[in-house]
Amino acid sequence: MAAEERTLGQLVSDASRDVSELVRYEIALAKAEVQRDVKRGLAAGGLFGAAAMLALYATVALMIAAGLGLAEVMPAWLAFLVVTLVLLLAAGVCVLIGRSQIGRIKPPERTIRSTKETIAAVRNRGGDGASNGSPER
């Protein structure tokens, strides 16, 4: 046998090693890409958080302006009471809408059905027929 000829076992071993190495490289590449995307996502999340804070500050300023504007035509305490009641009314509407949305949430029916079918299939295939599918105690 020549030095360059290799046995089938050696070829399979080399192929297995090469495939393992390729998979490791692919996983490393995927990790690098995911890390980059996670960093971008964190940066975007931070910017959205900053935007939310600025919007909150703007809303407070707008409510103060509304109160001061109404104070030109009515006593200041009544003007700010009106603004507060409008805000509470808006909050109440949001609660009612949110509660109706929660009522629409249902369990993941397809997943439950699929899981039950998988369990039934495993139980039916799992033994030699001596087991009834229940665990022994």
What digits encode the pLDDT tens for the residues 22-33?
888 888 888 888
Q: What is the pLDDT at residue 12?
A: 86
pTM confidence score: 0.53
Q: Which two tokens stand for residue 83?
A: 């603004």
Neighbours of 90 (CB within 10 A): 10
Question: SS3 of 90, please?
Answer: helix
Residue 136: pLDDT band (50, 70, 90) is very low
Residue 37: pLDDT band (50, 70, 90) is confident
Q: What is the pLDDT at residue 20?
A: 87
Residue 126: pLDDT band (50, 70, 90) is low
Residue 137 has pLDDT above 50, yes or no: no
Render pLDDT for 60-116 as a digit per residue (tens, 0 to 9): 999 999 999 999 999 999 999 999 999 999 999 999 999 999 988 888 888 888 889
Average pLDDT value for residue range 13-22? 87
Alpha carbon 34 to its chain's center: 15
> What residue ranges do the domains of the chain occupy?
13-124
Q: What is the pLDDT at residue 78?
A: 97
Let me know: does 34 contact 42? Beta carbons within 8 Å: no
